[in-house]
Amino acid sequence: MIVTSALIIWKALMCITGSESPVVVVLSESMEPGFKRGDILFLHMSKEPIRAGEIVVFNVDGREIPIVHRVIKVHERQDTGEVDVLTKGDNNPGDDRLLYAQGQHWLQRQHIMGRAVGFLPYVGWVTIIMTEKPIIKYILIGALGLLVITSKD
Amino acid sequence: MHSFGYRLNVLLTFAVTILALMCAMASLSDNLNTPSPSAEIQIMNINWFQKQPQGNDEVSLTMNISADLQSLFTWNTKQVFIFVAAEYETPKNSLNQVSLWDAIIPAKEHAKFWIHTSNKYRFVDQGNNLRGKEFNLTLHWHVMPKTGKMFANKIVMTGYSLPEEYR
């Protein structure tokens, strides 16, 4: 019952927010005290232009894990409307140029997966525990499997 | 039908649903709040104004920032993130936003403040368009809740300009 309703909610969120992964878990402390490790962020991607102050989720070429930081600089071209964006974690002393790919000074629209619009505390810890201690994942799946086999319905 | 496992399942689903509902209601209650913030920024001094070796203009300035943001806080507010950005237009770029300073306000008591500071982040242009440039200073705030939807808005203050010559 929990599993199917979770799946329905996940798919519905994907449709509503128009994004491939509408929910991310905060993994680092670079946005404290606002976002702590284990919080969940709800993402939304609209066609609105990217502006300073927005919290965006982006991928850097060569890194798999997306990063959630705040936009601190925006330069938008007159003719094409393309933007150069610089980000920084609230809790980091310096901006994100060190995190970008070699020679990259700015982010463009295609690097950005979505904006954070809402958040829930603590709920993401389940995912963090399952990723960092895979044994728990196997135990959970094993227990769920047992439940399915032994239930009388 | 009445096994322990089934009852546990139902109980957990119910508990999680109620929790989700409470979080949603907490977030919705934020919409009842009508904030009325105010702010004022004065540029006290242009410390220096140079063209960097790569060809980009850079400015260092000292500002007096005073604001009253107490009306932004509700019982569901964890913190308010504020920043001051310079906004201007150049021939190449229709919009440039450069964040000069930011701060985190953890509680309502700290939301009415006055600060004298130089820019925390470098005010660098893409190019050398800043001489005599008129720009706006905007104070943005981002209300981060204990749970739910985040709100952001800003106050735009116009009428600032940079010197005609480097110094």
Mean of pLDDT values over A41-68: 85
Same domain, A18 and A36: yes
Rounded CA gap, B92 and B163, in Å? 20
Q: Among this protein's residues, is A90 annotated catalytic?
A: no
Instruction: Return the CATH number at A31.
Output: 2.10.109.10
Burial of A2-21, coded b for 16+ CB within 10 Å and e otherwise, reads eeeeeeeeeeebeeebebee
Same domain, A52 and A106: yes
Same domain, A112 and A128: no
Same domain, A9 and A65: yes
Q: Please count the structural domains in chain A.
A: 2
Q: Comparing A13-17, B96-100, B112-116, which segment has the lowest mean pLDDT?
A: A13-17
Same domain, A23 and A83: yes
Residue A16: pLDDT above 90? no
Domain that includes residue A146, residue range: 124-152
Same domain, A116 and A130: no
Residue B5: pLDDT above 80? no
Same domain, A48 and A107: yes
- ipTM, two decimals: 0.82
Same domain, A89 and A110: yes
B98 vs A5, A73, A117: nearest CB: A73
Same domain, A28 and A60: yes
Q: How confident is the model at residue A144 (pLDDT cuts 50, 70, 90)?
A: confident
pLDDT on residue A14: 59
Kindly report the pTM of this predicted structure.
Answer: 0.81
Q: Which residues of chain B approach chain A closer than 8 Å at the C-beta?
A: 1, 3, 5-6, 9-10, 12-13, 16, 23, 27, 78-79, 81, 83, 85, 91-99, 102, 104, 106, 121, 126, 140, 142, 144-150, 152, 154
Same domain, A6 and A75: yes
pLDDT on residue B1: 57
Same domain, A71 and A145: no
Cβ B116 vs Cβ B148: under 8 Å: no
